[in-house]
Structure 1
Amino acid sequence: MGEKIVSSSPTEYKTTKFRFVELILFMFIGLMNQVIWVSFSPIVVESKAFYGVSEFWIVFLAASYMVAYIPVNFPACWMIDKYGLKWGVGVGVILTGLFGLIRGIFAANFVIVVISQIMCAIGQPFLLNSFTKLASTWFPEKEKATASGLGTIATLIGAIVAMLVPGMLGEGFDIGKLLLWYGIISFVSMGLFLIFAKEKPEFAPNPYADKTKALATKGTKDLFKIKDFNLLLLMLFFGLGAFNAITTKIDLIFDPTWDSGLIGGFMIIGGIFGAIILSGISDAKHKRKIFINIAMMSAVPLCILLAIINTFWIVCAIGFIFGFLLVSCLPVGLTYAAEITYPAPEETSNGLLMVLGQIGGLLLLIVPVDFLMYVVAGLFLIGGILSFLIEDTDVHEKRRLQ
């Protein structure tokens, strides 16, 4: 593959075109892991009838991802730090590919479906915690948030596939065949990753990749000494928690006569556009704080509007704006965290933020559906206030050089 010299301060760093192949391999398996997560959320009613179980067990299939993330996060961070991008992340890749296929083959057996779903959920932290490390290891400074944003887009595409496909198949579709196809594609994506993915490029592409990182254990302890990282933890607790809870319960939040999968699809499509556009602007301007401010504060009125508007297509439009502004904040926030906590491993800061989001999502699942959007709006208001208290990346960089 061709190489390109990238100037960054007095030092020159090299990039390779294979970085895009590497990113696609990570995106493909990350996408399928999210398909498996969300696959039952837009078809709660149909799944209850298919398996003959209560609503609780169908919601649990999605909630298991949030439950599993909490204990698995730190072992996943340690393994990624110790064994690297190919074999550390490879644990999650294998769990997703293998148990995604098993879930599809035995789709009619609810016990096997639950076990397989949990095993795929265990694989999720290995995948989601890897995108900022991938960006710092393979991409130049001006592309890091964009690369993380593309990783986020992959997970969003996975969610939108799971949201929209059942509606496209029409009434009476075969849930078993749908899960089998998801499993086959997951298995193929696992094979492609294991064959083609590489650990790291021959040359460092940016100054963050060019330094020796702190050990994960030391890095974790030191992270909590950074005020802005602690504030960011709270904001992700609110923001990612809200997105996880809304995604999990979307079939129960809105009018039962509406196509909830389509509403979720508009939210996620908005998130895809936002992750591309706003992450790119964030990289170009090397600014993070303003995008976090906008996401937190805009979510307050948008959540209230989603709760009170009774027109389907207006709700879809608001959902698109909600996704555009909120979901795009995730890659910017994760990149910001990696920058202000350097030299701690990216997967450590990434993992802590993600696990707080999972805890937030689980707690919000307890909130009655009728009040969920109002509670979320209140949490975003608190998050918005906190977002004005953080300092941008350049302030942290200047302080580190002093």
Structure 2
Amino acid sequence: MSLENQQLLQEERQGLEQAPLLIRSMSSNSPDATSRIRTIQNAPEGNAGKLKTYKRRWFVLGVFMSHMISNNMVWISFSPISTIAQCYYGVSLFWINALSWVYMLTYALFSLPAVWFLEKGGLKWTGLIGATLNAAGSWLRFAGTHPQMFWLLFLGQTVTSATYLMENNGCSKMSAIWFPPRERTIATTLYSVIASQFGVLIGLLVGPLVVTGGGTSYTNDICNNTITINSTALDRQPWESTVYNQLFYYMLAQAILTTLVIPLTYILPEAPPTPPSVTAPRNSKKTQTPFLRLLKTALSNVYFDIFLIATAILSSAGASYVTVFQEVLHNAGYEKYQNVIGYLGSSMMVAAIIGLLVIGKWIDYTRRYYATVIFASFSSVLITLTLSLLIQFKLLFYLIFITGTLVSCSMSLLGGITFEYAVEMTYPLPESISAGLLNLFNQIMGIVMVIAVGQLVQHKLAMYGNYVFTGLLLLASIIVVFVRPTLRRVKVENDTT
């Protein structure tokens, strides 16, 4: 190996000190830049010159998916039983909703420190700490089952929010370390999006089945004091005892399940003995490059900056649209379909999961990121506009049911793609940098959208919100058209085969 190549290899092993220079070089499509990265990646160091995949990669993926499933199940558990929880704990709806948005607030405040820890501590130990915090928070929630202990329940929810903070930034990093190029997008999608969707689906379905409060009408009568016996309000004690017993076993089951994830995480290896791709060896190492320098380098990439803004709008507008969707249907006069509307939420999530699986495999085999993102963005605009018009003119509900399912499917197509596309733009920076910035921008925009949605619902303007969301999706789709960067990681891998 020449002296120059030895020097480049040493710089790579010390933490990508040459990353800004390499990125600037590749931005100009310099052949020399690709050659230099190829030299670094293929330089012999133990097993670095070999490529191999291991069956255990699916076990690793399964463990990290279990983190996301259990955490999202805990996160959403009080949303479908908000009326019962509000009455049982004697708090306002604001505090019940706060159990959900505390996740977004925690993420917005501590996302970048979590990325720093992931780069310094590595994937396994970050996951282990995240799993431990999830279990600890779940046991605190269990201890807060008593109606006078809402503060302890809220504290536990805040602790569990740190798990999402620790875990979600590692999706692309895990895929790069363990999976070959033809499986990376589907692995990232399974970890980052499908596991989250599945956890939410479990929480939405199981919560109302376990915590019934004796029935909706009985709960409403208790909470509103509308039933009187001998001029005395109906006694709350039997109802509280029923809810306490139901919450006791519900919270206990969650605490046990989250605890079981810890030993599974502990036995995980940090990385495979032999990397699965020519771009993977550096991913198993902890970078020594100053963290702020990595952030500055990523944000100096114009394509990535535009992509951050566009995906934040697409993601938050889509999530907010789903949030306000039931209120829109109620305002439009579809109250008689209340039971079916509940199934619509589940249908939308199942459609999203199917769409994510299909698009993940498509990207892995075609690498057509740009065309797929454009298709997903503009199809979301067209289907959302169609749904808005169907509701506006009060057409058949089952047309709305089908179109609403398609909306969820089209909006979900960008799920795992955005993380992998961002890695391609910012390579050779660590994958967690781009993932962390994407998640941070999404959460900040999500908070803004949630506030806006709340105002629309409060002023009975949810119907007009349909067109606002459609306009935002159109704006983001137009922005995405101008994001057409070089697929840097793909280029390196193609040039070395």
Same fold? TM cut 0.5: yes
**2:129 — aligned with what?**
91
- Residues 157 and 304 of structure 1: CA distance in aligned 2, closer, same or farther (over 3 Å): same
Mean CA deviation greater in 75-84 or 183-192: 183-192
- Residues 210 and 192 of structure 1: CA distance in aligned 2, closer, same or farther (over 3 Å): closer
**Alignment partner for residue 203 of structure 1, among 260, 267, 274?**
274
Q: Does residue 258 of structure 2 align to residue 186 of structure 1?
A: yes
Q: Does residue 202 of structure 2 align to residue 161 of structure 1?
A: yes
- Residues 60 and 373 of structure 1: CA distance in aligned 2, closer, same or farther (over 3 Å): farther
**Alignment partner for residue 385 of structure 1, among 459, 478, 494?**
478
Shift of residue 357, structure 1, vs aligned partner: 0.8
Q: Does residue 219 of structure 2 align to residue 138 of structure 1?
A: no
Contact between 1:245 and 1:362, CA under 8 Å: does it hold in 2? no
- Residues 27 and 71 of structure 1: CA distance in aligned 2, closer, same or farther (over 3 Å): same
Q: Tell me, what secondary structure is at the counterpart of 1:13?
A: coil
Mean CA deviation greater in 36-45 or 111-120: 36-45
Q: Does residue 442 of structure 2 align to residue 357 of structure 1?
A: yes
**1:75 — aligned with what?**
113
Mean CA deviation greater in 96-105 or 343-352: 96-105
**1:60 — aligned with what?**
98
Mean CA deviation greater in 69-78 or 290-299: 290-299
Mean CA deviation greater in 146-155 or 391-400: 391-400
**1:322 — aligned with what?**
407
**1:245 — aligned with what?**
320
Q: Tell me, what secondary structure is at the counterpart of 1:14?
A: coil
Letter in 1 for 2:121: Y
Q: Does residue 235 of structure 2 align to residue 150 of structure 1?
A: no
**Equivalences for residues 2-401 of structure 1 within 5 A:** 12-108=50-146, 109-151=149-191, 152-169=193-210, 171-172=212-213, 174=243, 176=247, 177-194=249-266, 196-211=267-282, 215-246=290-321, 252=327, 254-255=329-330, 258-259=338-339, 261-307=342-388, 309=391, 313-367=398-452, 368-369=456-457, 370=462, 371-391=464-484, 393-394=486-487
Shift of residue 231, structure 1, vs aligned partner: 1.6
* CA distance, structure 2, for counterparts of residue 234 and residue 73 of structure 1: 17
* CA distance, structure 2, for counterparts of residue 389 and residue 380 of structure 1: 15
* CA distance, structure 1, for counterparts of residue 131 and residue 88 of structure 2: 29
Contact between 1:15 and 1:205, CA under 8 Å: does it hold in 2? yes
Letter in 2 for 1:281: W
- Residues 372 and 113 of structure 1: CA distance in aligned 2, closer, same or farther (over 3 Å): farther
Contact between 1:243 and 1:361, CA under 8 Å: does it hold in 2? no
- Residues 392 and 248 of structure 1: CA distance in aligned 2, closer, same or farther (over 3 Å): same
- Residues 105 and 314 of structure 1: CA distance in aligned 2, closer, same or farther (over 3 Å): farther
* CA distance, structure 1, for counterparts of residue 106 and residue 281 of structure 2: 33
- Residues 280 and 363 of structure 1: CA distance in aligned 2, closer, same or farther (over 3 Å): same
Mean CA deviation greater in 90-99 or 352-361: 90-99
Instruction: Tell me which structure has the larger Cα radius of gyration.
Output: 2
* CA distance, structure 2, for counterparts of residue 325 and residue 39 of structure 1: 26
Identity within the alignment, %: 26
- CA deviation map 1:199-251 (0-9, x unaligned): 11111111221237655432211111212211211122112223443565666
Contact between 1:143 and 1:283, CA under 8 Å: does it hold in 2? yes
Shift of residue 323, structure 1, vs aligned partner: 2.4
**1:4 — aligned with what?**
none
How many corresponding residue pairs?
392
Contact between 2:184 and 2:364, CA under 8 Å: does it hold in 1? yes
Q: Tell me, what secondary structure is at the counterpart of 2:101?
A: helix
- Residues 396 and 121 of structure 1: CA distance in aligned 2, closer, same or farther (over 3 Å): same
* CA distance, structure 2, for counterparts of residue 293 and residue 44 of structure 1: 38
Q: Tell me, what secondary structure is at the counterpart of 1:198?
A: coil
Mean CA deviation greater in 129-138 or 319-328: 319-328
Letter in 1 for 2:479: L
* CA distance, structure 2, for counterparts of residue 285 and residue 395 of structure 1: 15
Letter in 2 for 1:58: I
Shift of residue 267, structure 1, vs aligned partner: 2.0
